[in-house]
A and B are shown apart, each in its own frame.
Chain A
Amino acid sequence: MERKEWPLWEIFIRSRNGLDHKHCGSVHAPDARMALQVARDVYTRRMEGVSIWAVRASDIVASDPDAKAELFDPAEDKIYRHPTFYQLPEEVNHM
């Protein structure tokens, strides 16, 4: 087929004020305006959201799953970053 496919957009929805936008899926749309329109119809038929972000899938930069070890493992041996690392006297341990 010679026709070009509508580009893919990733859709993020804020379910209510006070919460982050959260990825919920993707849609195909020719432009930003239509992406929002389509996202509204596909992902918010039951008041699931108060705000929509649409981002062209091709604009998203993602970390490489093969680099998982080098990116995230170093945090594992830094347990002193967690509050539970510090053993305090019983009387003040709720600190």
Chain B
Amino acid sequence: MYTQSLSIPDGEVKGPRKLENPEYLAEFNAKIDAGDFIEAKDWMPEAYRKTLVRQISQHAHSEIVGMLPEGNWITRAPSLKRKAILLAKVQDEGGHGLYLYAAAETLGVSRDELTEALLSGKAKYSSIFNYPTLNWADIGVIGWLVDGAAIMNQIPLCKCSYGPYARAMIRVCKEESFHQRQGYDLLLQMMKGTEEQREMVQDAVNRWWLPSIMMFGPHDKDSIHTETARWGIKRISNDDLRQKFVDATVKQAEVLGISLPDPLLKWNAERGHYDFSPIDWDEFWNVVGGHGQCNVDRLAARNKAWAEGAWVREAAIVHAEKQAAREKVAA
């Protein structure tokens, strides 16, 4: 997922055709209204391009940082089967990050600029990854709830107006279903275990439930992103997606045999939806603002990985240049 629709100011980005032109704009709006896709080389308003760069790169960063809480458990997975599954899942998230960086780069930003923005803390990523993974059940709950929320958010993006983003999202969505199912499967297995294991599952659900429903971002009334709807980037509102997620999750919790930690959660026949407690947005903004439990660790881990990989990136390019020069001489 992980487009929380946060408005974070970003620097000037370079692009091929920046000229604002009323004729181009009319053509662009007509395409959007007709439900056509905008492709990389097509003219687009600067604000559309900037919004996309921000959203796609936040999304990519989230996939990359999202590898950390789960990667943390690869060496401690309780069986070879679960280790293989978790490795594959985490590798997928890395892949998602790469599909999305590539899509963002079609808008005229470089991969290095995007990476720098993440490493310096200038760019944001989904708040969900600033919570710690305390026990093995957390891995199951992340798959079930966090990837589940991500899927809700991502499916409408497959029809987003920007072609490269939409195509990347189709690829991502195809892979996400495995993520959610393996998580739920892991939890089902634990629920068949000891009393202690069932308690671990309930404890993990208790901790991840609220952060998961916060993943959909602020309420529509507090959301400043009406343009993203106008431009066909965001087609379903935060609150509608959140409601859909809650409605779908209740039954799954029941089958699993755990309770969702919300005393006000109950069916509202009149609305045809489940009601749930008001959300503590102070907690959300606190985590987004860098004061979650793991913000510092996550950024430190990304910076460390980037710094330690520097010699490999340099050596590979020097080697490639040397090889190319040699081939030229030989030819």
A-side residues, CB < 8 A to B, are 1, 3-6, 8, 24-28, 30-31, 34, 41-43, 45-46, 62, 64-66
Q: Is B95 interfacial (CB-CB < 8 Å)?
A: yes
Q: Is the CB of B320 within 8 A of A45?
A: no
Which of these, A3, A24, A31, A41, contacts B313 with CB under 8 Å?
A3
Measured CA separation A81–B105 after assembly (Å): 39
* Tally of A-B Cβ pairs under 8 angstroms: 55
- How far, in Å, is B56 (CB) from chain A's closest CB? 13
B255 contacts the other chain (CB 8 A): no
11 A-B pairs with C-beta separation under 8 A: A4-B317, A8-B105, A25-B99, A25-B168, A25-B171, A26-B102, A26-B105, A27-B98, A41-B91, A45-B95, A65-B42
CB pair A5 B41 closer than 8 Å: no
Which B88-137 residues sit within 8 Å CB-CB of chain A? 88, 91-92, 95, 98-99, 102-103, 105, 110-112, 116
* Interface check B26, CB cutoff 8 A: no
Closest Cβ neighbor of B314 among chain A residues: A3
Which residues of B are interface residues toward A (Cβ below 8 A)? 39, 41-43, 88, 91-92, 95, 98-99, 102-103, 105, 110-112, 116, 167-168, 171, 175, 310, 313-314, 316-317, 319-320, 323-324
Contact A31 B168 (CB under 8 A): no
Complex contact A45–B91 (CB within 8 A): yes
- Tell whether A30 pairs with B105 under 8 Å between CB atoms, given A42-B95, A42-B98, A42-B99: no
Q: How far is the CA of A28 from the CA of B313 in the complex (A)?
A: 11
When the two chains form their complex, are residues A31 and B323 in contact, meaning their CB atoms are under 8 A apart?
yes
Q: A25-B103, A27-B98, A30-B319 are in contact. List 5 more A-B contacts (CB 8 A).
A: A5-B111, A8-B105, A24-B171, A30-B317, A45-B91
Instruction: Give the residue of B41, B310, B317, B323 whose beta carbon is less than 8 angstroms from that of A6.
Output: B317
